[in-house]
Amino acid sequence: MAAAVQRFLDSDLWWSFRRSPVTVVSAIVALVCILGAVLAPWIAPHNPFDLASLNLSDAFKPPAWDEDGAAEYLLGTDDQGRDVLSAIMYGARVSLLVGLSATIFATVLGVSLGLTAGYAGGHVDSVLMRICDIQLTFPSILVALLVDGVVRAVLPREVHDQIALFVVIFAIGISEWPKFARTVRGSTLVERNKEYVQAARVIGVPSLRIMFSHVLPNVIGPILVVATLNLGLAILSEATLSFLGVGVPPTQPSLGTLIRIGNDFLFSGEWWITIFPGVALIAMVLSVNLLGDWLRDALNPKLR
Amino acid sequence: MSNVAPLLQVKNLRVEFPTRRGTLVALDDVSFDIAPGEVLGVVGESGAGKSMTGAAIIGLLEPPGRIAKGEILLGGRRIDNLRYEEMRRIRGKEIGAIFQDPLTTLNPLYTVGRQLAETMTTHLPIGPGEARKRAIEWLEMVGIPAAAQRIDSYPHEFSGGMRQRVVIALALCAEPRLIVADEPTTALDVSIQAQVIALLKRLAREKGTAMMLVTHDMGVIAETADRVAVMYAGRVAEIGPVREVVKHANHPYSAGLMASIPPLDRRVERLAQIDGAMPRLSAIPKGCAYNPRCPQVFDKCRTYRPDLINAGTTQAACWLYDTEAPRG
Amino acid sequence: MFAFIISRILQAVPVMLTVALISFAMFAYVGDPVAIMLGQDFTEAQRDQLVRDLGLDQPFWVQFATFIGHAAQGEFGLSYRLSRPVAELIAERAPATLELAFTAAALALLIGVPMGVYTGLYRHSWLSRFFLTFSLIGVSLPTFLIGILLILVFAVWLGWLPSFGRGDTVNLGWWTTGFLTVSGLKALVLPAITLGLFQLTLIMRLVRAEMMEVLRTDYIKFARARGLPNRVVHFGHALKNTLVPVITIVGLQLGAIIAFAIVTETVFQWPGMGLLFIQSVGAADIPVMSAYLMLIALVFVTINLIVDLLYYAVDPRLRIGRGKGGH
């Protein structure tokens, strides 16, 4: 273990990380966001879902530094008297959960199909890539919206409300798999023609095993980069869907939901209800994106 | 030759590249002259600084490269410290340039006629109509068949050899006094190289244009150049009349270089080769840069760097010809 | 030239057919259109009649062909939610979206390209650094947040511009325009900036990257070696070569503007197709969704065709048919 840590500290990755102050700051911001989200039930000052603790007389409190603010509510309260900071921490939990799950789903789907396309070639390859092409013509948010709309039409309302979270994850995952498939297919084509794969094939290793045990480890770098860059995008997609009112259910508000709800109070002057969740969203997405950029440059300067 | 005022004078030129790991000296103490109408061949291995010298003369060193010391004079006027706009008026008008790869030196989106005409209207007091007429004449002069029709063709519609002819026309069309030709035939088919060199040589002679011909093709040098400069690790190792340098090189490096050319008049079992490789710019040895590879190395070579010394028929940067301190 | 256009149109056909197939599958198999259209009380005979009227008793391919035939004429049936012909709804909303998208695209191009050229040419100037930082924010900020921030500053705090709707519009035949009234133009400002900002930063970064790439090429060095003035080298030789790859991506981005209008229209309650679409998604109004999908696909395919033609105009290397002898 100690040796592994030492190896990491000596590596180019760590060197290029320390050399870039922007990356270090991004990593810290991302870490704060993730810890705040994951540990929300334990460290949030209030529980925004505990109806008993809500007090309407505390509603619309501005941030603590305003003269009307209360120290108890650092970033103010919303129309129901909920603490905005706690709502953000719980909301970030949902955003992160959906973003991560959707990215993992897109990764698994895209990597499997990309490996298949690259390894099988022929008709399988051309059909899969054609689908990628057509889907990539449309912005992913539009695809996610369509998938979400279709699922809504297929499922009865009660069922839909129960599994709305999974529907959003599915919709966003579906909208992002082609990028993974493309990347993996490209790398697979390169790997497939290398001697070690040819050799494995000659000695009769089954193709499925060649794909997963020989080809996959070699394409893991590009996948990691695409996944990191996509995490930011997935979080944004979720926020956008929720903002449009077709995302996660109101019972589990994400940052996008908070922004949508707060948006209604913008005109009456209670800007903090919508702006703070917005800032949290930007911090999360920007830091993840910058980390992704760094990872891309550090792992492969040629990959663009 | 020595009684004519030189057209181009390069004096103690030093080019540096500041990098993160310290300053690289790409050219150091490079000096030579070119007389009007004279062809100076510049030879050496890749990375010896041949192309860099050409780039410094036309004032287009790649940043962050810069001239740190020395002077470049054209017709007696200093041109190395001119402002960009002043130097721009000299480029194309006084000094023409020919690059290595004709496939990439022409703008793919403009017709050859337009590229010729814009060069001429930039530098000569003529209008577009006259420029077009002259463009056709130039295409004819460089041997493009059916020039009047081809003038509106795009570069991709020409073969590599034809494109290099167009590049030559572009370099000459504002009638400069000097051409800097950087490996003008390296990227061409062997069968075409001779034609292009012959064309270049003929036009330079007809127009009285002097030329700095950078190449690593000794055959081209022997046939075209009046004098030749041999470069090694950013310095001039030897300079002199082409016949002398080719047949009786004085510097051990030039001698090695010449011995590695296959002679045409007799069969040889094995060509000579120089052991080792030219040092990288970041690791140029102390003393004479050639000393680790030199068969005639002695103590002084390892400590002191030689300047060009009169070596009879040529000038060589070699302690062998130092008369004051006999070899020890 | 003609053959080129034909081949490009032929390439677009499979894309349109695929999208049509998806649209049709949604239309015919998602939910039960018959039940939705009949409502609560109906007899078996009424039901059968409607099934026959809708052609639902026909084989799949016949239904699909009928769907395409109708779609080609702009027939997409009735909206489940509003019980009005989809074509009518879309025609009503299209001018609002198209005017917004056009303004945003013009904004993105007219500001984005010069900014990209500038930052590509003067990489180290402080203004370039400022533009780049600005563009990083533009790329990372979600569209709806930009809208909300603009509303907060310019509508709520400063009170300069309206925050929702199109303002007063003028009818020109069936087309309603907001370009001709002061309130219409004022209403356009914030939505257009919101929609165009992301594309603007993207175009700027793209032009910058291409410009830097082109400036490193031999033909630019040779143009300098020929003593051409910087103006000619930068804005003639370099810019024209930069445009070749930029056209493709910019074309796609302009198509994306129409799709991204969904978000902007929601933020600003802009009465366009995007708002209609999002309301349809919420209500599972399949006919509107499938019609919108087809329309967006058509827009993309058309833009792709225009991009190809522009490419053809800019890059002589594509004009293969041209004889070697010139004209």
At residue C31 the predicted structure's pLDDT band, cuts being 50, 70 and 90, is low
Report yes or no: C99 and C275 within 8 Å, Cβ to Cβ.
no
Three-class secondary structure of residue A142 per DSSP: helix
C320 touches B: beta carbon within 8 Å: no
At residue C326 the predicted structure's pLDDT band, cuts being 50, 70 and 90, is very low
C267: which chain A residues are within 8 Å (Cβ-Cβ)? 263
What does the angle CA B42 – CA B45 – CA B50 come to, to the nearest 5 degrees? 40
pLDDT at B105: 92
Structure tokens at A29: 């911001």
CB spacing of A138 vs C296 below 8 angstroms: yes
At residue A1 the predicted structure's pLDDT band, cuts being 50, 70 and 90, is low
pLDDT in tens, C77-98: 777 777 788 888 888 888 888 8
In this complex, the residue of A153, A259, A263 whose CB is nearest that of residue C30 is: A153
Structure tokens at B1: 């030759």
Report yes or no: A33 and A235 within 8 Å, Cβ to Cβ.
no
- List the beta bridge partners of residue C81: none
Three-class secondary structure of residue B86 per DSSP: helix
pLDDT at B55: 92
pLDDT in tens, A267-298: 777 788 888 888 889 888 888 888 887 877 77
Say how far apart CA A179 and CA A258 lie, in whole Å. 30
Domain residue spans in chain B? 8-225
| Res A203 pLDDT > 60 | yes
Three-class secondary structure of residue B38 per DSSP: coil
Report yes or no: C51 and C315 within 8 Å, Cβ to Cβ.
no
Report yes or no: C273 and C295 within 8 Å, Cβ to Cβ.
yes
Sheet holding B95-98, edge to edge: B95-98, B178-182, B210-214, B39-43, B227-232, B235-241, B314-316, B309-311
C252: which chain A residues are within 8 Å (Cβ-Cβ)? 137
C307 vs C321, higher pLDDT:
C307
Alpha-carbon torsion (A36, A38, A42, A47), positive or negative: positive
CB spacing of C286 vs A236 below 8 angstroms: no
Phi, psi of B185 (to 5 degrees): -120, 0
C124 touches B: beta carbon within 8 Å: no
> CA of B302 to nearest chain C CA: how many angstroms apart?
40
User: What is the DSSP pairing of strand B8-19 with strand B22-34?
Assistant: antiparallel
* Domain spanning B8-225: CATH 3.30.360.10: no
Distance set, CA C181 to CA C99, C149, C169, C186 (Å): 13, 25, 7, 9
| Res A64 pLDDT > 70 | no
What integer is the mean pLDDT of C108-123?
A: 89
Q: What is the pTM of this model?
A: 0.78
> CA of B315 to nearest chain C CA: how many angstroms apart?
31
Q: What is the DSSP string of B134-171?
A: HHHHHHHHTT-TTHHHHTT--GGGS-HHHHHHHHHHHH
Report yes or no: B246 and B216 within 8 Å, Cβ to Cβ.
no
What integer is the mean pLDDT of A161-182?
A: 86
Say how far apart CA C219 and CA C259 lie, in whole Å. 39
| Res A301 pLDDT > 60 | no
pLDDT at A192: 76
Q: Where does residue C204 fall: left (phi above 0), alpha (psi -120 to 50 degrees), or beta otherwise?
A: alpha
> CA of C127 to nearest chain B CA: how many angstroms apart?
21
| Res C320 pLDDT > 60 | no
What integer is the mean pLDDT of A77-104?
A: 85
DSSP 8-state code for residue A135: H
**A98, part of any domain:** yes
Q: Which residue in A190, A206, A223, A192 sits closest to A109, CA to CA?
A: A223
At residue B311 the predicted structure's pLDDT band, cuts being 50, 70 and 90, is confident
Q: Which residue in B92, B69, B56, B77 sits closest to B8, CA to CA?
A: B77
pLDDT at C68: 82
Supply the angle between the helices C2-29 and C286-314 in degrees, to the nearest 10. Answer: 170
User: What is the DSSP pairing of strand B235-241 with strand B314-316?
Assistant: antiparallel
Tokens 């930011």 label which residue? A232
Q: What is the DSSP string of C202-262?
A: HHHHHHHHHHHHHHTSHHHHHHHHTT--HHHIIIIIIHHHHHHHHHHHHHHHHHHHHHHHH
Give the helix/strand (H/E) hosting B228. strand B227-232
Q: Which residue in A285, A296, A293 sits closest to A103, CA to CA?
A: A285
CB spacing of A244 vs C262 below 8 angstroms: yes
Say how far apart CA B190 and CA B167 lie, in whole Å. 18
CB spacing of A259 vs C280 below 8 angstroms: no
C235 touches B: beta carbon within 8 Å: no
| Res A304 pLDDT > 50 | no
Q: Which residues, at least 6 apart from C249, have a Cβ–Cβ distance to it below 8 Å?
A: C206
A263: which chain C residues are within 8 Å (Cβ-Cβ)? 148, 267
Three-class secondary structure of residue B47 per DSSP: coil
Nearest chain A residue (CA) to C255: A138
C323 touches B: beta carbon within 8 Å: no
C318: which chain B residues are within 8 Å (Cβ-Cβ)? none
pLDDT at C11: 76
> CA of C174 to nearest chain A CA: how many angstroms apart?
28
**A5, part of any domain:** no
| Res C222 pLDDT > 90 | yes
Q: Which residue in A166, A55, A172, A58 sits closest to A107, CA to CA?
A: A172
pLDDT in tens, B161-170: 899 999 999 9
CB spacing of A263 vs C148 below 8 angstroms: yes
C216 touches B: beta carbon within 8 Å: no
What integer is the mean pLDDT of B127-152?
A: 92
Give the helix ranges, DSSP H, for A74-203.
Answer: 84-120, 122-137, 140-154, 157-192, 195-202
Say how far apart CA C184 and CA C182 lie, in whole Å. 5
> CA of C216 to nearest chain A CA: how many angstroms apart?
17
Least confident of B83-97, C103-117, C278-292: C278-292
Stated length of chain B: 328
B148 vs A8, higher pLDDT:
B148
| Res B178 pLDDT > 90 | yes
A36 vs B235, higher pLDDT:
B235
C144: which chain A residues are within 8 Å (Cβ-Cβ)? 239-240, 243, 259
pLDDT at A101: 94
* Chains contacting chain B through 3 or more C-beta pairs under 8 A: C
> CA of A149 to nearest chain C CA: how many angstroms apart?
5
Domains of chain A: total: 1
B106 vs C132, higher pLDDT:
B106
The highest-confidence range among B19-28, B33-42, C265-274, by mean pLDDT, is: B33-42
A152: which chain C residues are within 8 Å (Cβ-Cβ)? 281-282, 284
C228 touches B: beta carbon within 8 Å: yes
Q: Is the bond leading into B64 cis (omega within 30 degrees of zero)?
A: yes
Question: Which amino acid is it at A256?
Answer: G
Nearest chain C residue (CA) to A293: C136
**A4, part of any domain:** no
Q: How deeply is C6 buried, as exposed, middle or buried, from its count of CB atoms within 10 A (0-12, 13-18, 19+)?
A: exposed
Output helix, strand, coil percentages for chain A, rounded to the nearest 5.
75, 0, 25
Structure tokens at B232: 């090694």
Say how far apart CA A267 and CA A277 lie, in whole Å. 17
C42 vs B23, higher pLDDT:
B23
Q: Which residue in B182, B151, B198 sits closest to C222, CA to CA?
A: B182
Least confident of A49-63, A164-178, A271-285, B20-34: A49-63
Say how far apart CA A220 and CA B287 lie, in whole Å. 51
Q: Which residues, at least 6 apart from A171, have a Cβ–Cβ distance to it below 8 Å?
A: A143, A144, A145, A147, A148, A151, A241
At residue B115 the predicted structure's pLDDT band, cuts being 50, 70 and 90, is very high
What is the count of residue pairs from B and C with beta carbons less than 8 Å apart? 92
A49 vs C105, higher pLDDT:
C105
> CA of C266 to nearest chain A CA: how many angstroms apart?
7
Say how far apart CA B5 and CA B176 lie, in whole Å. 17
**A121, part of any domain:** yes
Least confident of A126-135, B227-236, B263-272, C72-81: B263-272
Nearest chain B residue (CA) to C238: B107
In this complex, the residue of B105, B109, B152 whose CB is nearest that of residue C315 is: B109
Mean pLDDT of chain A: 80
pLDDT at C324: 39
The highest-confidence range among A59-68, A138-147, A151-160, B221-230, by mean pLDDT, is: B221-230
CB spacing of C225 vs B146 below 8 angstroms: no
Percentage of chain B with pLDDT > 90?
40
At residue C322 the predicted structure's pLDDT band, cuts being 50, 70 and 90, is very low
Say how far apart CA A42 and CA A33 lie, in whole Å. 15
Mutation target for A interface from C146, C257, C264, C281: give the one with most A CBs within 10 A. C281
C213 touches B: beta carbon within 8 Å: no
Domains of chain C and any CATH numbers: 2-72 (no CATH), 86-319 (1.10.3720.10)
A278: which chain C residues are within 8 Å (Cβ-Cβ)? 145, 148-149
pLDDT at B209: 92
Mutation target for C interface from B87, B88, B166, B177: give the one with most C CBs within 10 A. B88
**A2, part of any domain:** no
C226: which chain B residues are within 8 Å (Cβ-Cβ)? 91-92, 96-97, 119, 122, 170-171
pLDDT at C321: 47
Percentage of chain C with pLDDT > 70?
92
Output helix, strand, coil percentages for chain B, rounded to the nearest 5.
35, 25, 40
Tokens 């129960």 label which residue? A162
CB spacing of B91 vs C226 below 8 angstroms: yes
C255: which chain A residues are within 8 Å (Cβ-Cβ)? 137
C242 touches B: beta carbon within 8 Å: no
**A304, part of any domain:** no
Nearest chain C residue (CA) to B96: C226
At residue C202 the predicted structure's pLDDT band, cuts being 50, 70 and 90, is confident
Report yes or no: C207 and C116 within 8 Å, Cβ to Cβ.
yes
| Res A4 pLDDT > 80 | no
Q: What is the DSSP string of B187-225?
A: TS-HHHHHHHHHHHHHHHHHHT-EEEEE-S-HHHHHHH-
What integer is the mean pLDDT of A173-180?
A: 88
Q: Which residue in C271, C148, C260 sits closest to A263, CA to CA?
A: C148
Mean pLDDT of chain B: 87
Report yes or no: B231 and B43 within 8 Å, Cβ to Cβ.
yes
Q: Which residue in B225, B205, B206, B207 sits closest to B215, CA to CA?
A: B225
CB spacing of C30 vs A154 below 8 angstroms: yes
What is the count of residue pairs from A and C with beta carbons less than 8 Å apart? 105
Provide the residue range defining the domain that includes A93. 12-50+59-299
What integer is the mean pLDDT of A185-209?
A: 80
What integer is the mean pLDDT of A188-203?
A: 80
